Amino acid sequence: MEDSKKELSSKQLAELVVKGMLDKKAKDVVLMDLREIKHAVSDFFVVCSATSDRHAAAVIDGIEETTLKESGTKAWRREGMERKEWILLDYIDVVAHVFVENKRQHYGLEDLWGDAKTTRIDLGKADTAE
């Protein structure tokens, strides 16, 4: 039996996560490049908002479907599915964060990693900021 898992760079995996988010109409998608930050826990964070807990669960499903279908990659860890306010998929080098809109502001994840190179993605357009 042939292994269907493709070797991807962390950047390529992050791009698949973005695709999965956008496929499920996630809002305010941000790709945070942490590779040049000393003591960063991952290469990339991909953050987005969902309009409700059901939407957040659908976005997580979209990410998992895309990464599995296109690369054979499964998340190492999944957290937050009980409350569905902040759901995390940990792919080791890439961590996806799906927030219900009001919780995203409350936790301020992007502020905590403010030194990261940040790319805001708006359904096919990307704006990069440092």
Tens digit of pLDDT for each residue in 85-125?
999 999 999 999 999 998 998 888 888 887 889 899 976 55
Q: What is the pLDDT of residues 58-69, one digit of tens each?
A: 999 999 999 999
Cα–Cα distance measured from residue 83 to residue 28, given in angstroms and rounded to the nearest whole number: 21
All domains in the chain, ordered by first residue? 10-120 (3.30.460.10)
Per-residue confidence (pLDDT) for residue 2, from 0 to 100:
43
Res 44 pLDDT > 80: yes
| Residue 1, pLDDT score | 36
